[in-house]
Amino acid sequence: MDRIPVAGPWLTQREAEYAADAARGDCYGQAGRYTKRFEDAFARHVGVKHAIALPHCTAGIHLSLAALGVGAGDEVIVPDVTWIASAAPISYVGATPVFADVDEATWCLTAESVAACLTQRTKAVIAVDLYGSMPDLPTIRELCEAHGLALVEDAAEAIGSRLGDRPAGAFGDTGVFSFHGSKTLSTGEGGMVVTDRDDLHERMMFLRDHGRPPGDKYFQNSEVAFKYKMSGVQAAVGLAQLERVDELVARKRDIFGWYHARLRGIDGLSLNAEPAGVHNSYWMTTVVLGGALGLTSRALMDRLDGRGVDTRPFFAPLSSIPAYRDTGEAQRAAERNATAYRLARCGVNLPSALCLNEGDVARVCEVLRNVIG
């Protein structure tokens, strides 16, 4: 390939065959069969009772907050370092996002950073498994329970990660996943919300279908709600990908391993952490530059781009982006969240597409070594 891509899926004949079968027959009396199969298989994979297939992960967070009763006057704590999709649904339901700092090694929330943001108005916490990493979710869960807070685990980037013997997505009142085209398990677009709570499952199923009572055939909507459903063809692709998920995650871990073998020992460079007890699925291999190298993330990206290597920046703190930076919460976060701001200046996502081979990674590492001297 001329350029080395930063992200992309691994699709096989199985996905094509399932999608074609859904296109031909997922209608009339067979409508929804692939969606049901995908949901049931996904719930088993995560080890929870319920899974609901959605058009995107953002819908999962939105449904979670709405079903949990989060609304105007409430605050929801979210890590400052994440994609805006983790925080935007807080605004959708009329609540206020509060941006917490992250851990230097895992790049995720800590119980301490959550505790620093608690107020009488706090209603929920959204913990993000960033780039496949995982925070200390049992401790965060204990903190939430002690304060009567709901916990949403944003596992959008962490299919295949585990903490102890529990998969990512299984620690919160709800867990959400993304199947965007860049993700390890992809349906092009799509998402899933999972839960062990029957009450939340019932409420989210109601809200995602325009507020229709179960079994309604007369279009007697009892609330104004949402339209969040996944198509049968997407679900068919998702089912095929889920049947290969161990293979997909193993490839991601191989890619990270190739980078680690070639970049370890370079002064001033650090890669994704895998703390004791964590099995990191390494959605993105990410390099953090030490200050002694004299390079910002933007400068490194520009130099790699000129040599045919696609990259992406470490997520900018949400409190720094135009959508939020003029709010009072963002201004307080900018003063408080030193780690988030430091990581954003020196973090770069290296090519991690599932199509890469060891030779591609070797080429990236050679270019990277030349660039940093």
pLDDT value at 27 more than 90: no
Predicted confidence at residue 1, as pLDDT, reads: 55
Predicted confidence at residue 132, as pLDDT, reads: 98
Residue ranges per domain, the chain? 13-243, 246-372
pLDDT above 90 as % of the chain: 94
Cα 130 to Cα 166: distance, rounded to the nearest angstrom: 17
pLDDT above 70 as % of the chain: 100
Cα 103 to Cα 84: distance, rounded to the nearest angstrom: 19
Do 246-372 and 13-243 fall under one CATH topology? Answer: no
Per DSSP bridges, beta strands 269-271 and 286-289 are antiparallel
Predicted confidence at residue 72, as pLDDT, reads: 98
Predicted confidence at residue 30, as pLDDT, reads: 87
pLDDT value at 241 more than 60: yes
- pLDDT range class, residue 299, cuts 50, 70, 90: very high
Predicted confidence at residue 305, as pLDDT, reads: 96
Predicted confidence at residue 107, as pLDDT, reads: 97
The architecture (CATH level 2) of 246-372 comes to Alpha-Beta Complex (3.90)
- pLDDT range class, residue 285, cuts 50, 70, 90: very high
pLDDT value at 88 more than 80: yes
pLDDT value at 280 more than 80: yes
pLDDT value at 80 more than 70: yes
pLDDT value at 55 more than 70: yes
Cα 89 to Cα 61: distance, rounded to the nearest angstrom: 6
Strands of 83-172 (E only): list them. Answer: 96-100, 122-128, 150-154, 162-163, 166-167
* Residue 47 backbone zone (phi > 0: left; psi -120 to 50: alpha; other: beta): left
Q: What is the mean pLDDT of residues 5-23?
A: 98
- CA-to-CA dists, residue 63 to 31, 54, 192, 197, 225, angstroms: 23, 10, 11, 14, 10
Closest CA relative to residue 78, chosen from 145, 125, 133: 125
CATH fold, domain 13-243, is Aspartate Aminotransferase; domain 2 (3.40.640)
Count of CA atoms in the C-beta half-sphere (13 A) of 163 = 18
Cα 164 to Cα 334: distance, rounded to the nearest angstrom: 33
Sign of CA dihedral 195, 199, 202, 207: negative
Lowest mean pLDDT among 147-156, 161-170, 216-225, 230-239: 216-225
- pLDDT range class, residue 109, cuts 50, 70, 90: very high
Residues 193 and 176: beta-carbon distance below 8 Å: yes
pTM over 0.95: yes
Predicted confidence at residue 291, as pLDDT, reads: 84
pLDDT value at 316 more than 80: yes
Strands of the chain (E only): list them. Answer: 50-54, 75-79, 96-100, 122-128, 150-154, 162-163, 166-167, 174-178, 191-195, 269-271, 278-279, 286-289, 312-313, 347-349
Q: What is the mean pLDDT of the chain?
A: 96
Q: What is the mean pLDDT of residues 75-89?
A: 98
